[in-house]
A and B are shown apart, each in its own frame.
Chain A
């Protein structure tokens, strides 16, 4: 009896050792783990669904077409958060060691969640891609080595909007005495651009009117009465979820000229304008990439994923603004993974390697052609210090009759001189409060 127990123990030890040996001896992973924090339920689901679909469809397409990234399958593990920070933290802890590679990158899809994950992910050496949202000062790569918020931050975007307005008013000097209202989601996210707009207001002499809207934003009559009363010349909106739809509808109801109403790029999807119907015609929104489904990459998703019945959503919705954005997240992630493999000369990459991959992102026109995204967006280059890129921003306009978005402006360069100073200041304050020594990038 004793003997048999001992032999079982030895056998078990042998199996474990064998398994461990197999683990170390294998050259490559079977798959990479790319978790995605999504919300297909809850108050923000209408926006969360296309984002999540674009992301997973692109990787499924890569798996079908190329067998994954550099021949290794990518396993996109979705975790349903319902836009809730506490659940997101649970998802993060659950997924960070998932699979052979561990989580290679996290997409929090919420500014609040990004704030919550920043310290932890930096500690666990897993990069966070908060593409065009999240903590603005994370653009400073010396203080936030693991956080990326390219192609442009909220502050850059706000400054680009001001530039656009200046152009439409016939010169920046004409901004003097103008009144700009900011209708914002009353949370850390919505409050992001205030500081920038205040700084710019002082510089160019326009007046800023702040109109907060509480979550979820179902009822905004008072806000728009305030607009009636204050008679702003332009309105900017930092909204998300149902707030966007109601705001556009209310703006139409007070006959505010839609072509003077600009939403942040999270307030400019098909979902947001649909309930307002024809009244939303002419509404403007920022964007980082071109709308529409007229791209080779999207065609490939259709042939490799949807034609085989593996699509995450409806085929008709491929090419919606938020779908394209989800796909763009996936593209950047895949590029960073390829860069990481190239830089480190191994396919056994982990989160910290992908970080280096992100910092090596340098996509030119030709690269976008290669990716099947001709004229999809402007070239982008990320460096160790600059995690934001130089993000030119375009303004798109809703054409209600045709039911599609069109880019109506040039690509606007943000006011880097103003924004970068604010970023430096805020990042330094964060570093001081949390005892972080900024790393050297040279």
Chain B
């Protein structure tokens, strides 16, 4: 009886009694969700265009952030900050694009038409390589990433909102907007969608698969850079950054592997759900349930929609 009360009644009473904390929990949950979405977005882009479940996305975020801080360290001191940041960002983007080209040449091209799980494994191998290379080049110390993002908080009537979170949300929002325009309005975007729909058909109308893949991986690399900046500003750039990929997985299955809006909405649901449960059901579970709860939540959704909320409908034929 007590347990039932603790599970079903007490948390809602707490929410009512402490509305400020509840509002803050909701806001922070949504913000955390945005950060998850940023990582999930990279997964979705690549899965959509090439059917590759790119597990290296987390390591790519680490690699991008490491490269960024590394380049910033090597910039001459006298330059104004904004110039340093812009040059370093530009250089990092170039490196991520180069990386995409190399990945396409070395890893993807020889594996065309292989089973999904083989491609998945190849990206895991890739994550080993990138991890080793990133550490070897830039060292394993914590690096402080400061590109001038606001780190203070706003106190709105007792509700604390972190400016960095808001920045991340704006960045994610604009990224999605840009991607949406890119996908719908440009020639390359249309080609991308064609490839995502049907490789064979796209090939037959003269779309170069290789070129499309390089573009997609470059875009995913840039998304990884944004994710790396947002996460890295918080904790410093270090190896653990690569583990954020795990936080994106429940978002992916919830939103569907192939849907960009799915990644965003999935992220918001997961972020919100896990924070509210963690905070308000604390007396039931005693904390640290976020990780499995996110997966359970996604699993519960999957039982009703096996392709995720926005994923392509699975059609099975004999």
Q: Which residues of A contact B (CB under 8 A)?
A: 40-43, 45-46, 49, 186, 210-214, 216-219, 221-223, 225-226, 228-229, 241-242, 245-246, 249, 253-255, 271, 274-275, 277, 279
Shortest Cβ distance from residue B264 to the other chain A in the assembled complex, whole angstroms: 18
Partner of B239, one of A45, A217, A221: A45
Shortest Cβ distance from residue B137 to the other chain A in the assembled complex, whole angstroms: 13
CA distance A228 to B160 in the complex (A): 10
CA distance A222 to B278 in the complex (A): 6
* Given the contacts A42-B239, A212-B288, A221 and B28 also touching, CB distance less than 8 Å: yes
Q: B288 contacts A214, CB within 8 Å?
A: yes
The 9 closest A-B pairs by CB, nearest first: A45-B140, A222-B278, A275-B236, A212-B288, A242-B240, A46-B142, A216-B240, A212-B287, A43-B240
CA distance A24 to B99 in the complex (A): 58
- CB-based nearest B residue for A249: B234
Q: B244 contacts A223, CB within 8 Å?
A: no
Partner of A253, one of B142, B160, B244, B290: B160
Q: Which residues of B contact A279 (CB under 8 A)?
A: 151
Q: B144 contacts A225, CB within 8 Å?
A: no
Chain B residues touching A, majority SS: helix
Q: B282 contacts A249, CB within 8 Å?
A: no
- CB-based nearest B residue for A275: B236
Sample 24 A-B pairs with CB under 8 A, ordered by A number.
A41-B140, A42-B239, A43-B239, A186-B288, A210-B286, A211-B287, A216-B243, A222-B275, A222-B279, A223-B278, A223-B287, A225-B278, A225-B279, A226-B279, A226-B282, A229-B21, A245-B236, A249-B234, A253-B153, A254-B160, A271-B236, A274-B236, A275-B144, A275-B234
B25 CB–A CB distance under 8 Å: yes
CA distance A225 to B32 in the complex (A): 13
CA distance A196 to B227 in the complex (A): 40
Shortest Cβ distance from residue B144 to the other chain A in the assembled complex, whole angstroms: 5
CA distance A218 to B241 in the complex (A): 8
User: What's the A-B contact tally at a CB cutoff of 8 Å?
Assistant: 114
Q: Which residues of B contact A225 (CB under 8 A)?
A: 21, 24-25, 28, 275, 278-279
| Extra A-B contacts (15), CB below 8 Å, given A229-B14, A255-B160 | A40-B140, A41-B135, A41-B239, A42-B140, A43-B238, A45-B140, A46-B142, A211-B287, A218-B231, A222-B290, A223-B287, A228-B24, A271-B142, A271-B236, A275-B234
Q: Which residues of B contact A42 (CB under 8 A)?
A: 140, 239
CA distance A173 to B12 in the complex (A): 36
Q: Which residues of B contact A (CB under 8 A)?
A: 14, 18, 21, 24-25, 28-29, 31-32, 35, 135, 140-142, 144, 146, 151, 153, 160, 162, 231, 234-236, 238-241, 243-244, 247, 274-275, 278-279, 282, 286-288, 290-291
Q: B141 contacts A242, CB within 8 Å?
A: no
CA distance A343 to B206 in the complex (A): 84
* Given the contacts A43-B243, A222-B275, A254-B160, A249 and B235 also touching, CB distance less than 8 Å: yes
Shortest Cβ distance from residue A228 to the other chain B in the assembled complex, whole angstroms: 6
Q: Which residues of B contact A213 (CB under 8 A)?
A: 288
Q: Which residues of B contact A186 (CB under 8 A)?
A: 288
Q: B240 contacts A241, CB within 8 Å?
A: yes
Chain A residues touching B, majority SS: helix
- CB-based nearest B residue for A217: B240
Q: Which residues of B contact A254 (CB under 8 A)?
A: 160
Shortest Cβ distance from residue B172 to the other chain A in the assembled complex, whole angstroms: 16
Q: Count chain A CB atoms within 10 A of each CB in B142, B231, B286 and give the residue with the most.
A: B142
CA distance A225 to B160 in the complex (A): 10
Shortest Cβ distance from residue A131 to the other chain B in the assembled complex, whole angstroms: 22
Q: B287 contacts A49, CB within 8 Å?
A: no
Q: A275 contacts B275, CB within 8 Å?
A: no
Q: A218 contacts B243, CB within 8 Å?
A: yes
Q: Which residues of A contact B141 (CB under 8 A)?
A: 45-46, 49, 271
CA distance A214 to B146 in the complex (A): 26
CA distance A12 to B240 in the complex (A): 54
Q: B18 contacts A229, CB within 8 Å?
A: yes
Partner of A221, one of B32, B135, B286: B32
Q: Which residues of A contact B160 (CB under 8 A)?
A: 228, 253-255
CA distance A86 to B14 in the complex (A): 44
CA distance A279 to B162 in the complex (A): 13
Shortest Cβ distance from residue A222 to the other chain B in the assembled complex, whole angstroms: 4
CA distance A277 to B275 in the complex (A): 26
Q: A255 contacts B153, CB within 8 Å?
A: yes
* Given the contacts A212-B287, A225-B21, A45 and B238 also touching, CB distance less than 8 Å: yes
Shortest Cβ distance from residue A184 to the other chain B in the assembled complex, whole angstroms: 10
Q: Which residues of B contact A229 (CB under 8 A)?
A: 14, 18, 21, 279
CA distance A219 to B288 in the complex (A): 11
Partner of A210, one of B28, B151, B287: B287
Shortest Cβ distance from residue B18 to the other chain A in the assembled complex, whole angstroms: 6
Shortest Cβ distance from residue B38 to the other chain A in the assembled complex, whole angstroms: 13
Partner of A218, one of B144, B244, B286: B244
* Given the contacts A45-B238, A219-B247, A274 and B275 also touching, CB distance less than 8 Å: no
Shortest Cβ distance from residue B34 to the other chain A in the assembled complex, whole angstroms: 12
Q: B144 contacts A246, CB within 8 Å?
A: no
CA distance A241 to B142 in the complex (A): 10
Q: A46 contacts B238, CB within 8 Å?
A: yes
- CB-based nearest B residue for A278: B151
- CB-based nearest B residue for A213: B288
CA distance A214 to B290 in the complex (A): 9
Q: Which residues of A contact B278 (CB under 8 A)?
A: 222-223, 225-226
CA distance A299 to B185 in the complex (A): 65
* Given the contacts A40-B140, A218-B241, A226-B279, A253 and B162 also touching, CB distance less than 8 Å: yes
CA distance A186 to B286 in the complex (A): 11
Q: Which residues of B contact A218 (CB under 8 A)?
A: 231, 235, 240-241, 243-244, 247
Q: Which residues of A contact B274 (CB under 8 A)?
A: 222
Q: Which residues of A contact B290 (CB under 8 A)?
A: 214, 219, 222
Q: Count chain A CB atoms within 10 A of each CB in B31, B235, B287 and give the residue with the most.
A: B235
